[in-house]
Amino acid sequence: MDVKTYYDDTRFDYRIIWNHPENVAMHFGYYDEHADKHRAALNNMNRALADLAGVQPGDRVLDAGCGMGSACFWLEENRQAHVTGISIVASHLEDCRKNARKRHSTNTEFLEADFCNTPFPDASFDVVWACESQCHADNKVHFYKEAYRILKPGGRLVVADYMRTGRPVSALGESLLEDWLRPWAIPDLDTREEHTAYLQHVGFQFFEIKDITKNVRTSLRNLHDLCRKWLPIGKVLLFLRIVNKVRLANVRACIRQYEALQEGAWFYVMVLARK
């Protein structure tokens, strides 16, 4: 499974099952005193990341793996930032540009580019932002190296993503990870120690990795419960050739993701690094 095929084939599912016409988020929600419902929690993830990165009016932000543009529009509207969204998924960029027109967005732009090999000059951005996108990189150190290159001195990298708890984890944990990651076009998860080594290797002097699993657990469980209800229907729809194997595998993977969390195989983090 490759990233483009996965997101092209599941495009309808994200639109109908997860996001909202006013919030085209493709990530999990962040639950705290600011948000206790799904729609609010999706926006709250943007707030939590923006607060961690200290995004200020006028900052130039790169959304590395921008999905349908949720964070880009939120940052423009709530932090008055100038945001560039990049993706290798052409259908996502089509959605981003359509959403930008609907919102009369003037401070966002969207380009097809690989976040491990971008077309931007050195020191182009104040913030590099990656919400549940870095996981798709074959080699995470390449992502960190490119982020460091295009950040201005003093610039911040902020990431929200998954990390494995060990290498290896239990046999059951490894099996559950495989059943989740492969259908989602995620090559593997790396450990906290591996990410720490990558950050140090590319030159980041200050960084922190914060476990926020407690803040996203409700969102993860909601997806799990929703997909357990949909799986029998999905099997019928597959038999009737209304959905394909990629979409049905996506539903199963959502179930395995939460089971792998319960097995202790992975956790959810926010990363902040400063150049």
Q: What CATH number has the domain bearing residue 122?
A: 3.40.50.150
Q: Which of the two residues, 123 and 6, has the higher pLDDT score?
A: 123
Instruction: Transcribe the chain into DSSP letters.
Output: --HHHHHHHTHHHIIIII-BTTB---S----BTTB-SHHHHHHHHHHHHHHHHT--TT-EEEEES-TTSHHHHHHHHHH--EEEEEES-HHHHHHHHHHHHHHT-SSEEEEE-BTTB-SPPTT-EEEEEEES-GGG-SSHHHHHHHHHHHEEEEEEEEEEEEEESSSS--HHHHHHHHHHHTTTT-----BHHHHHHHHHHHT-SEEEEEE-HHHHHHHHHHHHHHHHHHHHHHHHHHHTTSS-HHHHHHHHHHHHHHHHHHTTSEEEEEEEEE-
Per the structure, the complete domain to which residue 26 belongs is given by 3-167+188-213+266-274
Spatial separation of the C-alpha atoms in residues 32 and 218, rounded to whole Å: 10
Structure confidence at residue 231 (pLDDT): 75
pLDDT digits (tens, 9 = 90+) for 46-99: 999 999 999 999 999 999 999 999 999 999 999 999 999 999 999 999 999 999
For the chain, what is the domain count? 1
Does the residue 31 lie in any domain?
yes
Mean pLDDT of 2-20: 79
User: Is 253 contained in some domain?
Assistant: no
Domain assignment present for 241: no
The answer to whether residue 152 is domain-embedded is yes
pLDDT-derived band at 173, boundaries 50, 70, 90 = very high
Identify the pLDDT of residue 213: 98
Predicted confidence at residue 247, as pLDDT, reads 85
Within-domain flag for 172: no
Q: Is residue 219 part of a domain?
A: no
Instruction: Classify residue 201: in a domain, yes or no.
Output: yes
Residue 250 lies in a domain: no
C-beta pairs of 43-47 under 8 Å, 24+ apart in sequence: 43/74, 45/131, 45/160, 45/216, 46/70, 46/71, 46/74, 46/75, 46/78, 46/131, 47/78
Q: Tens digit of pLDDT for each residue in 208-262?
A: 999 999 999 999 999 999 899 877 776 776 677 777 888 878 889 999 999 999 9
**Distance of alpha carbon 159 from alpha carbon 152, whole angstroms:** 17
At residue 237, the pLDDT reads 67
